[in-house]
Copies of this chain bind each other. A is one copy, B any other.
């Protein structure tokens, strides 16, 4: 892989995460703004048309919605926007697929022939098993695909929320395939760190889906249930921070989380049941007034959570 400074990078799907990744690539200096790109005025509607400085364009994006492309061009976040990947993919040395899992699988089916020979591809989907399966079966032999999952997000979705996504110090999970070129893996890890992430963990797709079912999906199910069970929106007058912290993620992207919950169903259900057991234990201590057991349990919880810090 050539240095990132010499790469053309394509973002497929300029939503919350696609937008945040584009901004991070810009802000970290890896893909400086193309001085030839004319932004603002009439050119911001020229999505898909070759820009006046096409040869120098370095950060490209495609989206079926023209609004985020226009906004990203106007803000100088991308150099060129495309309504379809057709003319973008053949130019990209590195592609970030920033799509919901099911859309991503359909995208690979449809557009596999369009990728530039030798391109490095990565994704950001919150579930990895089905994606790794599909890629292992169907990826063109000259391409490299490193599945990834940046552990960051924000409540307000779409490109408009992208500037609120903070990558600084966050976790990034990679689930490399056996066929990945080690130089590409090193390249991507270095770029991830440069984008601000604090820790890159390599693991298998199975392990990712098992652990994410706990740290991410179960937490979203709990937050949703907590909001579902109280209809009084004025209850926040009685909030002291804990309720707000536990339910902030209930402002979720419903279609995407529905996909993630159902696609990782087996792992998630096992995690829900594990949680229910612990909840039941605490509940029983409270029902029966077992003060000493309850206090000891809470003491252990405090100790374990403290050990989890960092």
Residues of A within 8 A of B (CB): 151-153, 170-171, 173, 199, 201, 208, 211-212, 214-216, 218-231, 233, 235-243, 245-252, 254-255, 257-258, 261-262, 265, 268-269, 271-272, 274-279, 281-283, 286-287, 289, 291, 294-302, 304-310
Contact = CB atoms under 8 A, between A and B. Distances in A.
A186 B307 CA distance: 45
A201 B237 CA distance: 7
List the 7 closest A-B pairs by CB distance, nearest first: A151-B240, A228-B278, A254-B298, A229-B278, A225-B278, A215-B243, A225-B279
B298 A252 contact: yes
Contact of A305 (B153, B219, B227, B229): B227
Nearest to A273: B283
19 contacts: A151-B241, A214-B243, A218-B226, A219-B226, A224-B278, A225-B278, A226-B278, A227-B301, A228-B281, A228-B282, A229-B271, A233-B308, A245-B246, A245-B249, A250-B305, A251-B302, A262-B294, A265-B287, A272-B286
B215 A275 contact: no
A216 B282 CA distance: 15
A219 B236 contact: no
Nearest to A234: B308
Copies in the complex: 2
Tell me whether chain A's interface is mostly helix, strand or loop, or mixed.
helix
Contacts of A221: 279, 282-283, 286
Given A224-B297, A272-B283, 18 more contacts: A173-B238, A201-B237, A201-B238, A216-B242, A219-B246, A221-B286, A222-B279, A227-B305, A228-B304, A245-B248, A250-B304, A251-B302, A255-B295, A261-B294, A265-B289, A268-B286, A269-B286, A272-B286
Given A215-B240, A222-B226, A272-B283, A252 B301 contact: yes
Nearest to A281: B228
